[in-house]
Amino acid sequence: MAIAERDMMSGLSKGLAVIETFSAERPRQSIAEVAAASGLDRATARRCLLTLAHQGYADWDGKFFTLTPRVLRLGTACLATMPLPQIVQPFLDALSDQIGESSSVSILDGAEIVYVARAAQQKVMSIALMPGSRLPAHCTSMGRVLLAALPEAAARALLGPGPLAARTPLTLTEPEAVMAALTRIRAEGHALNDQEIETGLRSIAVPVQDARGRVVAAMNIGVSAARATPDEMRARFLPALQGVQDSLRKMLR
């Protein structure tokens, strides 16, 4: 339902825009950096940041701002109201216990994936992954599964004109190359990522579908590249993912 402009609170919108500028790549920012990333003028960015600091959502050392764990209350409250994480978590726990590797479920938010559930056996990336973590969709196995589920025009629009950001020397940066990968994923029913998001990491993902066949999320297994070749990933982990995929399809309405 469309919302009238007069019913919206511009100050809240600006504050949320400021929060969204912080990421794993930009955890510590100055007022000028936040203003540039959010598109706000410096005075507005400064007021938003100081308000966040006053409310306990940010720390300020006189020059740089960092978000505090209090911000997690916002994401945790959202995740707690979503049935999907509650449904998939036991399945992920059982899957990771069975295979001895980490597994995750994510959803698509624009051009990024957002982790909503995770069962970690060991750390497989240099950054800590947890519910609420975000990664680019174009170079992750779960992201490509979710992009492949979209109409082609919608996926192309999210990728944009390119070139796409390269996370490693193996990252596909041309939108047409990613679109070709999405075509293969639609045909094969899974995505295998070979060190495109981080050197030394391989992952394999399948779509999570509801009882009507709609793709509502993606699920993956990530391992050190030293422990499994791409062919071994498919042979060892794809059947286990597909088993959970079938079980979830019967539960998700």
The per-residue pLDDT for range 201-252, each reduced to its tens digit, is: 999 999 999 888 999 999 999 999 999 999 999 999 999 999 999 999 988 8
Give pLDDT tens digits for 23-54: 877 889 999 999 999 999 999 999 999 999 99
Of 44, 45, 43, nearest to 22 by C-alpha is 45
Q: Which residue has the higher pLDDT, 5 or 222?
A: 222
* CATH 1.10.10.10 domain span(s) along the chain: 5-72
Q: What is the mean pLDDT of residues 61-66?
A: 95
Whole-angstrom distance, CA of residue 64 vs CA of residue 46: 11
Enter the tokens of residue 222.
């990530």
CATH 1.10.10.10 fits 5-72, yes or no: yes
Give pLDDT tens digits for 129-141: 888 889 999 999 9
Enter the tokens of residue 105.
């479920």
Q: What is the mean pLDDT of residues 174-183?
A: 97
- Is residue 108 over pLDDT 90? yes
Write the burial class of residue 234 (CB in 10 Å: 0-12 exposed, 13-18 middle, 19+ buried).
middle
Whole-angstrom distance, CA of residue 143 vs CA of residue 137: 4
* CATH 3.30.450.40 domain span(s) along the chain: 82-251
Considering the chain, what percentage of its residues have pLDDT values greater than 90? 76
Q: Which CATH superfamily is domain 82-251 in?
A: GAF domain (3.30.450.40)
If pLDDT is split at 50, 70 and 90, which confidence band does 125 have? Answer: low
C-alpha distances in Å from residue 197, one per residue of 53, 107, 125, 217, 248: 33, 17, 9, 19, 27
Residues whose CB falls within 8 Å of the CB of residue 153, separated by 6 or more in sequence, listed in order? none
The confidence score (pLDDT) of residue 26 equals: 85
Give pLDDT tens digits for 193-203: 999 999 999 99
Whole-angstrom distance, CA of residue 45 vs CA of residue 138: 30
The confidence score (pLDDT) of residue 162 equals: 86
DSSP string, 12-39: HHHHHHHHHT--SS-SEEEHHHHHHHHT
Beta strands in the chain (DSSP E): 28-30, 58-60, 64-67, 102-109, 112-119, 134-136, 191-194, 201-209, 215-224
C-alpha distances in Å from residue 8, one per residue of 2, 4, 12, 110, 175: 11, 7, 9, 22, 35
